[in-house]
Structure 1
Amino acid sequence: MIDGLVGGRLYGEAQIRTGQNGKRFVTCKVRATTGDGDTLFVNVIAFDDDVQTGLLALSDADSVALSGALTPKVWTDKNGLVKPALDMVAHGLLTAYDVRRKRSVMTGQPAEQDGGDPDEAL
């Protein structure tokens, strides 16, 4: 297990699921760009209520940063190419909404008047 931070964009919508024990969890995929420009998909699962709520509030392609336990994986695409992927158990979440809210507290301006693109902060 690797403790990591991943920033990217939500790929599709987050999904609510229920485990065999009856406990709710949320899954989603995040598309992250590597340093050399390749795309890496991160399969995310969240058990924390606050992280679940934040993920469910996002839409496809919204910016997100997640922290948690990472496990490296590989998968084979339909052309037979082996590609890297990551599985993450997310413990923390930061979205553009959180950035705007924190910026408004720091500047004393309402969040909708801060004038900045919230995705620029991520």
Structure 2
Amino acid sequence: MIDGLVAGRLYGEAERRTDKAGKAYTLAKVRASTVEGEVLFINVIAFDEGLCASLHQLRDGDSVALSGSLNPRVWTDKQGNARPALDMVAHRLISLPLSGIEQ
């Protein structure tokens, strides 16, 4: 795995799930753009309770930056083209507090 930082926009809403042992975790998707303008989807899983709560406060389209362990992979679209994707085990949500910032 690779430690990395990913920035993009939340794609859909974060989803709370529970494993067979009863431990809660959160799944989310982040949509990011490459330098070439291609769209890259990052599949995110988070286990930390505080991080999960923060992800659930975000809404579809909100900007987000996450750090964690990345696992690159390739998937095939309906036209048979190979597309890049990333799976991330998120450890930290990086955000800028909006208080005190003029909008």
TM-score, with length taken from structure 2: 0.94
In the TM superposition, 1:38-49 aligns within 5 A as 38-49=38-49
Consecutive unaligned residues of structure 1, counting only runs of 5 or more, are: 102-110, 117-122
Partners of 2:53 and 2:94 in 1: how far apart?
A: 12
Moved over 6 A (4+): none
Cα deviation for residue 100 of structure 1 reads 2.6
Q: How far did residue 36 of structure 1 move?
A: 1.6
Give the structure with the higher percent strand.
2
More helix by share: 1
Of 114, 117, 120, 2:101 maps to 114
1:32-69 deviation line (CA, Å, top 9, x unaligned): 11122111100000001111011111110100000000
Q: 1:75 aligns to what?
A: 75
Distance 1:74 1:11 in 2: 19
Distance in 2 of aligned mates of 1:86 and 1:114: 32
Give yes or no for the alignment of 1:57 onto 2:54. no
Q: Where in structure 2 are there 5+ consecutive unaligned residues?
A: none
Higher relative contact order (CA 8 A, sep 6+): 2
Alignment partner of 2:3: what SS?
strand
CA-based RMSD of the aligned residues comes to 1.1
Give the fraction of aligned pairs with identical amino acids, expressed as a percent: 56
Letter in 2 for 1:100: P
Taking structure 1 as the reference length, what is the TM-score of the superposition? 0.80
Paired residues, number: 103
What are the superposed Cα offsets for residues 78-119 of structure 1, whole Å, 9 maximum, x if unpaired? 221110000000000023xxx135xxxxxxxxx1x5214xxx
Q: Secondary structure at the match of 2:93?
A: strand
